[in-house]
Homo-oligomer: A and B are copies of this chain.
Amino acid sequence: MVVTDRVLMGPGPCNPYPEATAGLTRPMLGHLDPEFLALLDETCENLRTVWGTANALTLPVSGTGSAGMEAAFVNTVGPGDVVVVGVNGLFGERMCDVAGRCGAEVVRVDAPWGQPLDPEAVLSAHPAPKVIALVHAETSTGVRNDVAAVAAGKGDALVLADCVTSLGGIPVAIDDWDVDLAYSGTQKCLGVSPGLAPFTLGPRAWERRIPTPQSWYLDLGMIGAYTSGTARKYHHTAPIAMITSLHAALGALLDEGLQGSWDRHAECGAALQDGLEKLGFELWAAAGYRLPQLTTVLVPDGVDDAAVRRALLTRYGIEIGGGVGPWAGKVWRIGCMGHTARLRNVTLLLAALSETLSR
């Protein structure tokens, strides 16, 4: 088959860091090999640094970000548990679906897509929820929700945060914010192929976890007995190549420094958003809550959404994303994440988009 390469400026996957790609081809090791276990330990330790946490149970779940979401809910939510979910995009909607399948009584707190959640509304939605869940960086809208404000007012509830599109791209501080559990994905600002869900769960969530979750595969008690502790009790065969790739990418990220990665994402996002406004586009996400790593604009009146995206893909090899749900056809989602977050890609996209619209 033909092999094409792309500049991946959609909502994920991004272009992986060269180190991440090289990490995929490291010679295969067994999942109980002492060398692999050392590499896994180092991966988990570097994940703690990236999450800003000392949580012992910090590890890559063996599935994509959505598996991380499911792991978060099945390990903390059982039948009849009240879960408040902030919903201002597709991934908040998904949380309601996943929590419902755990038997939760779901209390939704909606905000319009493109606008941030109101932390006060989320906190006052129910007097005693077991879990308050929200998305930090809504990949469907490009909006940042204020996780820190929600966690600060959580009272006795557990706070569960979706950090799929935030981790590595904007500040995430699990321990400083007092977030109880969170998950991410490898294919966004961590610059790795999709396939793993970095995960962290703190002591309060551990104490209140579901002892036998409905999912065997995502049972964090069993997974933790393999990834940490001394017994290294076999649960399932770890996805070796993906973990060696994540290990390599985290090494590159920490060599650059977390602050350096945040700064680079911020610089690219600002240049992109500024450039798009200069081209006459209207930014969609609310001012003050715009993600630098994922920019959303309204498709201008009279412009054919699909035709423009197809032209960018076929003429320039650039992928950008369309809108989803009620916003399909109405917005574009332009990612600048991981290795894609380079000024050269911003400059290229702005020029290619300008050319395409003037053809």
Contact, CB under 8 Å: A65 / B236: yes
List residues of chain B with CB within 8 A of the CB of A185: 237
Contact, CB under 8 Å: A70 / B216: yes
Bitwise interface map of A from 32 to 43 toward B, beta carbon under 8 Å scored 1, else 0: 110100110010
Contact, CB under 8 Å: B27 / A212: no
List A residues 42-74 near B (Cβ within 8 Å). Answer: 42, 62-67, 69-70
Contact, CB under 8 Å: A28 / B13: yes
List residues of chain B with CB within 8 A of the CB of A87: none
List residues of chain B with CB within 8 A of the CB of A161: none
Stretch from A93-101, A111-119, A174-182 contacting the other chain: A93-101
Q: Verify if A261 is at the interface (C-beta below 8 Å from B).
A: no
The range of chain A's interface size is 35 or more
Contact, CB under 8 Å: A28 / B1: no
Bitwise interface map of A from 1 to 43 toward B, beta carbon under 8 Å scored 1, else 0: 1111110101011111000010011111111110100110010
Contact, CB under 8 Å: B25 / A13: no
* Complexed CA–CA distance, A3 and B98 (Å): 40
Contact, CB under 8 Å: B25 / A21: yes
Q: Verify if A327 is at the interface (C-beta below 8 Å from B).
A: no
Which of B2, B30, B65, B216 is in CB contact (< 8 Å) with A8?
A: B30
List 18 additional A-B contacts (Cβ < 8 Å) besides A1-B39, A195-B242. Answer: A2-B35, A3-B27, A5-B28, A6-B30, A13-B28, A14-B28, A24-B24, A24-B25, A33-B313, A62-B64, A62-B67, A64-B239, A65-B236, A67-B236, A101-B213, A187-B237, A187-B240, A195-B241
10 closest A-B pairs by beta carbon, nearest first, are: A195-B239, A5-B27, A193-B241, A66-B236, A24-B24, A194-B237, A70-B217, A63-B63, A98-B216, A30-B319
